[in-house]
Amino acid sequence: MSFFPAAQGTGRRAGPLQLRLPQALRNADLTRRDRVARAVLLIAAGIPTLMLVLIAAEMVYQSIPAFRYAGLGFFTGKVFSFGNLYITKLTVQNGVSAPHGATYGAFTFIFGTLVSSLIALVVALPLAVGAVLALTERVPARFQSSLSIFFELLAGIPSVVYGFWGILVLGPLLAQHVYPVLGHLGVVLPFFRGSVGFGEGLMTASLILALMIVPIIATTTRELVRTVPILAKEGALALGMTRYETARVVTLPYVRRGIWAAAVLGWARALGETMAVLLVSGNLLNGLPANIFGTFSTMAATIVAMLDSALTDATGMAVHALAALGVVLLVITVATNLLGRLIIRRAAGGAVLPVGRGL
């Protein structure tokens, strides 16, 4: 007796590869497995979104008392203080109680965050693009993979190491030999006037941030440059253009939008950097930097520096104030990342990869 039933409508036996299970049972089994796999994948895809929503919701909930207490002054005020945490006297403002003398003004931290990250972006963008063009256009192909490893190595260095190196080596070196020369620019640029300090401050922190975001911009730009059609570059060279002119006329216009998207993503990385900035910023709480070399602070660095003392506030308003700083930083960072992704998709015509539209 054969194990393979005869095919319906024919007098022949089924082939040996046909399963003995009924067709309906086989379809039900496959459908069940597909449903399980789809459910697992949907859960995995939804976890990042769920985590972001939960984090944002908790931060907003914790920040509401601080926003109510300070009002618009939270964004315009230049003094951020928890008040006197050692006496029981409270101050009521807008229906919210806080320690006596508490003031929550985040303007100086918002200013420091935006300005330091923008200076870092201005420094990092030409360095990253120039390094990639030199690597892809001038370095022989057999050496490109080996040299490109250094970009990944820079990205893998912990931020606290960058900050420790900045405060011990880079900052004092710049303060002694470079900043005095840059100080002469104060004749035409007022922000360069004044004392150059001892290596802590806005300029040093911005240079550290620039070094940290160079790998992000460079790695994306390298992949973009590889998408430029070789025939377009060879045609430019055949017309008598130099390699510099080919890069300027052919390569950069082709990947221009993608480079801007990479720059925005690098900027988002610089906005949220904490430990490196905390070590080299000088941690100025209630004031703007006197010049580009002056001390300052950012939202992320302030949260870390003041969290320990905030936990001693029995009213909880200090924690609420730091949560409000975190909400502002979260909104700015998420908006910047979304802007970068939008530029990438528009540059790619709806695709995922940040590829330009061509000449």
Give phi and psi for 96, each to the nearest 5: -120, 135
> Is residue 25 pLDDT above 70, yes or no?
no
Query: Count of residues for the chain?
Result: 359
CATH of domain 103-347: 1.10.3720.10
> Is residue 90 pLDDT above 90, yes or no?
no
- For the stretch 250-282, pLDDT in tens is 888 888 888 888 898 899 889 988 899 999 998
- For the stretch 167-179, pLDDT in tens is 999 999 999 999 9
Q: State whether residue 178 is helix, strand or coil.
A: coil
What is the arithmetic mean of pLDDT over 33-48? 88
Q: Are 242 and 184 in contact (CB under 8 A)?
A: no
Write the CB contacts of 139 (distance below 8 Å, at least 6 apart in sequence): 147
- For the stretch 184-238, pLDDT in tens is 888 788 888 888 888 899 999 999 999 999 998 998 888 888 888 888 888 888 8
Q: Which residues, listed in sequence order, are joined to residue 92 by a DSSP beta bridge?
A: 97
Half-sphere exposure of 65 (CA within 13 A, CB side): 17
